[in-house]
Structure 1
Amino acid sequence: MPRDVYETVKSRCHAILRELYVHVASPIDGPGKQDFGDIDILLACPKDGSTDEQEGLSTVVKALGATRCIVNQGASSNLALPWPTLEPTPTPERNSSVSGAEAKDKHAEERYIQVDIHIFSSVKEMEWMLFRHGHGDIWSILGSVIRPYGLTVDEGSLWLRVPEIERSNKNRAKVFLTSEPSEVFEFVGLPIGTYFEEPFQDAQAMYEYVAQCPMFSVPPSEPAQDRKGASADDLEKLKSNDRRRMKQRPAFRSFFDEFVVQCRSAGRFSERRTSREQITEEAFARFNIEAEFKARRDAFLLERQKETIWNKLIKDSIPLPQGSEPEKIMYRSCLVKALKMIILEDDDSYGVRLDEGFKDGDGFYLFENVIDFVNRYQDKVGEAAIQRHNARYAEHMQAKEAKEAQAQAQQQGAGEC
């Protein structure tokens, strides 16, 4: 939809919804945008004090005069509003409708405008979404800038990722930093300025703003690289989502294909201004998350060590017996189980132990000690393990025989009666 229609419908919707909600806002538009697909409106704090989100959506649908509505997960919905006329109309009353004006032509009633409504349970959540989705693609761009430094901004917070975990489990790798926009700006080195007040003058102004982030740099390219577009190194650093945005989002694409290339040609931002290690240390100091970060990392690394010890150093080092002799199969089964109990679960009941222990001063396993123990003591452990198995089997058989004898005696006693 063109800008004049967009602005007219948005202002009318805001006026109506301010009669229903204390906080009504839309994310600030991206720079230079003249054509719009839909209108996003964020709401918080209903004036009637209601906490029923579905009831709130129904009230909004009725107030705006929507002809169609799709309710999504959470308190959000997509509304279809008839295309309006652009003649001046009075400010709507509380129960008036955007659809009150007549259509400009005979086809107008068949045209609709999509209005996406999001109702938040707190002003804080609403402010985060205004921050996260304001200025079009700015946080897609900033996300690609800060990601190599271990930072992630999602729909709720700023996070610091644990490098040892992130490839295996993205969610587990994230350590919470903040959900306050002002703290995010300060931490990533960007001024708040008029971020929440007005759009950037143009895309170039937005790109220059992003470039103030200390994590933005444009290393010189190799001589053979194509200077007409983003270098292979630039594109290789992007996630699959970012590469998709390169195709679908013009402002995102032009940042890499034009602004980054211009900076490289001019020699701007050619030196790295910080490092992932430095950002991590700054996060420790500012957000007091060092203990959680290291505890999560160490727990993950210890789990991985245990997996390696069990699968590689124990099971793979005890070969499967040739043939199908039950005794040999049972012996191996008892042996690997006993080694696991001794090494990974600190079980000393087998009477075999390593005096120097299996772990270092930080609680991590010393693989060389594990390998040495398996090689030196597997026969002794195997003997103790099979003896324990045989003893337990004998106890089991004795208990079984006693139970059968008791049952037989009870049957005989019942027969005599």
Structure 2
Amino acid sequence: MGGQAFAKSDPPIPTPRMPPEVYAQVLTQTHAVLRTYFGHVDSAVEAPGKETYGDVDILVYGPFNPTWADLEKGSTTVAETLAKALGAKKYLSQKGNPTVNFAIPWPGQDIEDMTKEDKCIQLDVHTCFSLVSFKWELFHAAHGDLWNIIGSTIRPFGLTVNDQGMYLRIPEIELYDRKKSMIFLTANPSEVLEFLGLEEERWWRQFRSKEHMFEYATGCRMFRVKEADDPNEAEEDMTGEAAAAITHNIDGQEGGEKGKKKLKHNDRQRMAKRPIFKEWIDEFIPRCRERGNFRKPRASREQIQQEAITRFGVQEKFETRLKEWNLVKHQDHLWRVVIKGSIPLDGIDPALRAAATRTLKSTIMEGVEFEGVIPKAATKDEDGFYDIDEVRRFVMGNWEAAGRIGLARQDAKAREAMKVKAEKREKEESDARERKRKEVPA
């Protein structure tokens, strides 16, 4: 199947897969056209061994020529301008989406003579909004499934590479909130490859075969293959994110059926959709295990974490994020476990208990006075942490008094609300009488 962007057009436009010679011809021609409009035009290095291509993907970065001001004067969009220049039969563009899909004639066809049955080629032009993102996307999209392979290698070591850059994950946070655990390191391809121990010059050329690409991936200094099974060793009951979060004794990739169980859910899904990644897991890694290759540990998660912190200068960010996270957890524990959890449940009037929790929370966590004073339990250290034992003692010794105070406050609020409501009703009735009086003829 080819690109599918135009499959639901009215009428549908056929865009079948292309043989390599057609792909190469279209790539060269469209690059030449787009370079007359953009300062930077390129396409990511393709995966090895592809026999057909579904579409043509091109990255561009400005400045666009003619300028946006020139286009606005002529009521023409960038997409319309490029469609004419590329001889496109149709294009698809959505506001806010940096990618425009073009259906361009198959080489040898004239747009004027095309029928609805004639096949086209799907060309996707993606606009980057900075030179940094242009270079990074070229890097990140290179070689097809290679980043899936490298990603499964570096993930247990606390590193993540996505379409924005390389990140270090904080182990204490990632199982609870993966996004908040991520500290940005760099979006510089050279820095990433150097840190991972991969040869940069080789990266920017297409691999001759999948095997050559697999061998390149093993150059990552975090790559290790698990030793052959010990028949007396119990099988680990650990899968997915739990396995990926181990910080000690990372014993290498296993591959095969047992190895699949330790992959993240996303990686297991990739195996079903990405044949090259599946071959890496199902065939290449087991083959390395049989040969006894790559068994020696080359790094630990702790080592990689400290190297990344030092190399990319993120010590302060790392410590601040961890401190903020620990403070949030501390406050949540203080409220749910220490305050609410220290008030008895059995045989207690629910209204009294609810009033006690509200009062104690306002006193300890919000600084409201309790019987005319701020208790010691409400005191925080310089980092914002409470003395848990002191809070627990205060709650257990004062929850009944807090409940009575809370009920009294609640009653006072209710009386005040009733008073306001009565005054409002009286005013409305007074205004109505006044309007009625004015309507009566003299």
Q: For residues 145-178 of structure 1, give each alpha carbon's deviation from its aligned partner in whole angstroms, at most 9, with x where no partner exists.
A: 1111221111112112222332333322222111
Matches within 5 A, 1:10-409: 10-46=27-63, 48=65, 50-51=67-68, 55-72=77-94, 73-85=96-108, 99-100=109-110, 110-196=118-204, 198-223=205-230, 230-319=255-344, 328-351=349-372, 355=376, 363-382=384-403, 385=406, 396=416
CA distance in 1, matches of 2:337, 2:263: 35
Normalising by structure 2, what TM-score? 0.76
Asked whether the 8 Å contact 2:41–2:59 carries over to 1, the reply is: yes
In structure 1, stretches of 5+ residues that fail to align are 86-98
CA distance in 1, matches of 2:122, 2:169: 37
Match of 2:5 in 1: none
Query: Structure 1 vs Structure 2: percent identity of aligned residues?
Result: 36
Q: What SS does the corresponding residue of 1:193 show, helix, strand or coil?
A: helix
The residue type equivalent to 1:62 in the other structure is K
User: Alpha-carbon deviation of 1:29?
Assistant: 0.6
User: Alpha-carbon deviation of 1:24?
Assistant: 1.5
Larger displacement relative to structure 2 (253-262 or 71-80): 71-80
Q: CA RMSD in A?
A: 3.6
Q: For residues 230-287 of structure 1, give each alpha carbon's deviation from its aligned partner in whole angstroms, at most 9, with x where no partner exists.
A: 2445223322221111122121111112221122122222233222222221222122
Q: For residues 286-342 of structure 1, give each alpha carbon's deviation from its aligned partner in whole angstroms, at most 9, with x where no partner exists.
A: 22222222222222222222223322332343345859xxxx555333321121123
CA distance in 1, matches of 2:122, 2:344: 66
* Distance change in 2, residues 1:398/1:232 (3 Å): closer
User: Alpha-carbon deviation of 1:27?
Assistant: 0.7
* Distance change in 2, residues 1:212/1:359 (3 Å): farther
Asked whether the 8 Å contact 1:221–1:231 carries over to 2, the reply is: no
Match of 1:6 in 2: 23
The residue type equivalent to 2:306 in the other structure is E
Q: What number of residue pairs does the alignment pair up?
A: 387
In structure 2, stretches of 5+ residues that fail to align are 1-17, 236-253, 438-442
User: Alpha-carbon deviation of 1:377?
Assistant: 3.2
The residue type equivalent to 2:218 in the other structure is A
Asked whether the 8 Å contact 1:188–1:213 carries over to 2, the reply is: yes
Q: For residues 85-128 of structure 1, give each alpha carbon's deviation from its aligned partner in whole angstroms, at most 9, with x where no partner exists.
A: 4xxxxxxxxxxxxx54999xx99962221111112222222111
CA distance in 2, matches of 1:33, 1:345: 63
Q: For residues 334-360 of structure 1, give each alpha carbon's deviation from its aligned partner in whole angstroms, at most 9, with x where no partner exists.
A: 321121123323444435666587766
Asked whether the 8 Å contact 2:20–2:51 carries over to 1, the reply is: yes
CA distance in 1, matches of 2:184, 2:275: 31
The residue type equivalent to 2:281 in the other structure is F
User: Alpha-carbon deviation of 1:403?
Assistant: 6.9
Asked whether the 8 Å contact 2:91–2:100 carries over to 1, the reply is: yes
Asked whether the 8 Å contact 2:227–2:289 carries over to 1, the reply is: yes
The residue type equivalent to 2:179 in the other structure is N
Asked whether the 8 Å contact 2:355–2:402 carries over to 1, the reply is: no
Q: What SS does the corresponding residue of 1:271 show, helix, strand or coil?
A: coil
* Distance change in 2, residues 1:389/1:372 (3 Å): same
User: Alpha-carbon deviation of 1:130?
Assistant: 0.6
Larger displacement relative to structure 2 (184-193 or 374-383): 374-383
CA distance in 1, matches of 2:268, 2:300: 24
* Distance change in 2, residues 1:141/1:350 (3 Å): farther
* Distance change in 2, residues 1:361/1:18 (3 Å): closer
User: Alpha-carbon deviation of 1:139?
Assistant: 0.8
* Distance change in 2, residues 1:401/1:153 (3 Å): closer
* Distance change in 2, residues 1:147/1:358 (3 Å): farther
* Distance change in 2, residues 1:351/1:189 (3 Å): farther
Normalising by structure 1, what TM-score? 0.80
